[in-house]
Chain A
Amino acid sequence: MPGEHSTGSTPRGATTPGDDLVVTGVSKRFGGVPALSDVSVTIRAGTIHALIGENGAGKSTLAKIIAGVIGPDEGTITLGGRALHMRSPREALAHGIVTIAQELAIVPSLTVAENVYLGAEASAGGFVRRRESRRRFRELVERVGFDLRPDAVARTLSTADQQKVEILRALSRNASFVVMDEPSAALSSHETDALHEIIRSLARAGTAVVLISHFLSEVLALADTITTLRDGRLVRTIAATGATEESLIEGMLGRSLSTAFPTKHPCATDAPVVLEVSHLRAPRVDDCSFVLRRGEILGIAGLVGAGRSELARAIIRDTRPSSGTVRLNGEELTGRGPRAAIRRGLVLIPESRKDLGLLMGRSVRENVSLSRLDLVSRFGWVSRARERRLVTQFMDATTVKAASMALPATMLSGGNQQKLLFARTLMCAPSVLIADEPTRGVDIGSKRAIYDLLTTMADEGLGVIVISSELEEVLGLAHRVLVMRHGRITAELSGANVREDAVLAAAFADSGVS
Chain B
Amino acid sequence: MSKTTTDSSELATPPVPPSTPSLAARVHLGQSWRTAGILIPFLILFAVLSISSSAFLHTTNLINILDQQASTLCIAGAGTLVLVAGGIDLSVGSTYAFAGVTAGMVGQHHSLVLAIGAALAVGLVVGLANGVIVSVFKISPLITTLAMSYVIQGIALKVSSGNLILTGTIPGFTTFATAQFLAVPSAVWITAVFVVILALLLSRTNFGRYVVAAGGNAEAARLAGVRVGGIKITTFVLSGLAAALGGVIDASRLGSVIASSGGAALSFTVLAGIVVGGTSIAGGEGSGWRTAIGVLFIALIGNGFDLLGVDPNWQQIVLGLILLVAVGLDMWTRRVRR
**How many angstroms between the C-alpha atoms of A358 and B220 in the bound complex?**
6
**How many angstroms between the C-alpha atoms of A359 and B28 in the bound complex?**
17
Place the interface of chain A in its size category: 35 or more
Contact A373 B227, beta carbon cutoff 8 Å: no
Q: A410 near B: Cβ within 8 Å?
A: yes
Contact B23 A356, beta carbon cutoff 8 Å: no
Looking at the assembled complex, report how far the CB atom of A328 sits from the nearest CB atom of chain B, in whole angstroms: 15
Per-position 1/0 for B227-252, Cβ under 8 A of A: 10000000000000000000000000
Q: A338 near B: Cβ within 8 Å?
A: yes
Residues from chain A with Cβ under 8 Å of B216 in the complex: 359-362
Interfacial residues of chain A within 394-439, with CB under 8 A of chain B in the complex: 401, 403-404, 406-408, 410-411, 424, 428
Residues from chain B with Cβ under 8 Å of A377 in the complex: 205-206
A-B pairs with CB below 8 Å: how many?
Answer: 97
Interfacial residues of chain B within 3-42, with CB under 8 A of chain A in the complex: 18-21, 23-24, 27-28
Given A411-B23, A411-B24; A380-B206 close (CB under 8 Å): yes
Q: B138 near A: Cβ within 8 Å?
A: no
**How many angstroms between the C-alpha atoms of A156 and B222 in the bound complex?**
36
**How many angstroms between the C-alpha atoms of A338 and B224 in the bound complex?**
7
Contact B24 A370, beta carbon cutoff 8 Å: no
**Smallest CB gap from A355: residue in B:** B219
Q: A374 near B: Cβ within 8 Å?
A: yes
Contact B24 A373, beta carbon cutoff 8 Å: no
Given A356-B220, A362-B212; A370-B226 close (CB under 8 Å): yes
**How many angstroms between the C-alpha atoms of A41 and B226 in the bound complex?**
51
B27, B221, B337 interface centre (most CB from chain A within 10 Å): B27
Given A338-B225, A361-B337; A407-B24 close (CB under 8 Å): yes
Q: B285 near A: Cβ within 8 Å?
A: yes
Given A339-B225, A356-B223, A408-B337; A370-B217 close (CB under 8 Å): no
Looking at the assembled complex, report how far the CB atom of B19 sits from the nearest CB atom of chain A, in whole angstroms: 7
Contact A381 B212, beta carbon cutoff 8 Å: no
Q: A199 near B: Cβ within 8 Å?
A: no
Per-position 1/0 for A296-327, Cβ under 8 A of B: 00000000000000000000101000000000
Contact A370 B213, beta carbon cutoff 8 Å: yes
Q: B109 near A: Cβ within 8 Å?
A: no
Interface residues of A, dominant DSSP: mixed
Interfacial residues of chain B within 305-337, with CB under 8 A of chain A in the complex: 334, 337
Interface residues of B, dominant DSSP: helix
Out of A361, A382, A403, which one reaches B21, CB within 8 Å? A403
Contact A342 B219, beta carbon cutoff 8 Å: no
Contact A382 B24, beta carbon cutoff 8 Å: no
A348, A350, A369, A381 interface centre (most CB from chain B within 10 Å): A381
Out of B24, B224, B225, which one reaches A343, CB within 8 Å? B225
Given A358-B220, A359-B216; A403-B24 close (CB under 8 Å): yes
Per-position 1/0 for A324-343, Cβ under 8 A of B: 00000000000001110011
Q: B58 near A: Cβ within 8 Å?
A: no
**How many angstroms between the C-alpha atoms of A370 and B220 in the bound complex?**
10
Contact B222 A338, beta carbon cutoff 8 Å: yes
**How many angstroms between the C-alpha atoms of A448 and B21 in the bound complex?**
26
**Smallest CB gap from A357: residue in B:** B220
Contact A382 B217, beta carbon cutoff 8 Å: no
Q: A54 near B: Cβ within 8 Å?
A: no
Number of interface residues of B (CB under 8 A): 32
**Smallest CB gap from A383: residue in B:** B204
Given A408-B27, A410-B338; A359-B21 close (CB under 8 Å): no
Contact A380 B222, beta carbon cutoff 8 Å: no
Q: B207 near A: Cβ within 8 Å?
A: yes
Q: A500 near B: Cβ within 8 Å?
A: no
**How many angstroms between the C-alpha atoms of A381 and B337 in the bound complex?**
29
Contact B209 A370, beta carbon cutoff 8 Å: yes
Residues from chain A with Cβ under 8 Å of B277 in the complex: none
Contact A382 B220, beta carbon cutoff 8 Å: no
Q: A192 near B: Cβ within 8 Å?
A: no
Contact A380 B205, beta carbon cutoff 8 Å: yes
Q: B86 near A: Cβ within 8 Å?
A: no
B23, B223, B284 interface centre (most CB from chain A within 10 Å): B223
B24, B227, B285 interface centre (most CB from chain A within 10 Å): B24
Given A362-B212, A408-B337, A411-B24; A403-B206 close (CB under 8 Å): no
**How many angstroms between the C-alpha atoms of A381 and B205 in the bound complex?**
4
Out of A339, A359, A380, A410, which one reaches B220, CB within 8 Å? A359
Given A358-B220, A359-B220; A403-B20 close (CB under 8 Å): yes
Contact A371 B212, beta carbon cutoff 8 Å: no
Residues from chain B with Cβ under 8 Å of A361 in the complex: 216, 284-285, 334, 337
**How many angstroms between the C-alpha atoms of A370 and B20 in the bound complex?**
26
Per-position 1/0 for A345-369, Cβ under 8 A of B: 0001010000111111110001001
Interfacial residues of chain B within 102-129, with CB under 8 A of chain A in the complex: none
Residues from chain A with Cβ under 8 Å of B221 in the complex: 359, 370
Given A381-B205, A404-B18; A355-B220 close (CB under 8 Å): yes
Contact B217 A360, beta carbon cutoff 8 Å: yes
Contact B222 A318, beta carbon cutoff 8 Å: yes
Interfacial residues of chain B within 260-274, with CB under 8 A of chain A in the complex: none
B18, B21, B217, B334 interface centre (most CB from chain A within 10 Å): B217
Residues from chain A with Cβ under 8 Å of B19 in the complex: 401, 403
Residues from chain B with Cβ under 8 Å of A355 in the complex: 217, 219-220
**How many angstroms between the C-alpha atoms of A424 and B226 in the bound complex?**
13
**How many angstroms between the C-alpha atoms of A316 and B213 in the bound complex?**
20
Looking at the assembled complex, report how far the CB atom of A43 sits from the nearest CB atom of chain B, in whole angstroms: 38
Out of B21, B28, B209, B226, which one reaches A339, CB within 8 Å? B226
Contact B27 A407, beta carbon cutoff 8 Å: yes
Contact A373 B209, beta carbon cutoff 8 Å: yes
**Smallest CB gap from B217: residue in A:** A359
**How many angstroms between the C-alpha atoms of A339 and B207 in the bound complex?**
15
Q: Which residues of A are in contact with B by a Cβ distance under 8 Å?
A: 316, 318, 337-339, 342-343, 348, 350, 355-362, 366, 369-371, 373-374, 377, 380-382, 401, 403-404, 406-408, 410-411, 424, 428
Closest 3 A-B residue pairs measured CB to CB? A403-B18, A342-B225, A339-B225
Q: Which residues of B are in contact with A by a Cβ distance under 8 Å?
A: 18-21, 23-24, 27-28, 204-207, 209-210, 212-213, 216-217, 219-227, 284-285, 334, 337-338
Other A-B pairs, 11, CB within 8 Å; known A338-B225, A370-B225: A337-B222, A338-B223, A339-B225, A355-B220, A359-B216, A360-B217, A361-B216, A371-B225, A381-B206, A404-B18, A404-B24
Give me 22 A-to-B residue pairs in the complex whose CB atoms sit less than 8 angstroms apart, sorted by A's number.
Answer: A316-B223, A337-B222, A339-B222, A339-B225, A343-B225, A356-B219, A358-B217, A359-B220, A361-B285, A362-B213, A362-B284, A369-B209, A370-B224, A373-B206, A377-B206, A380-B206, A381-B205, A403-B19, A403-B24, A406-B28, A408-B27, A410-B338
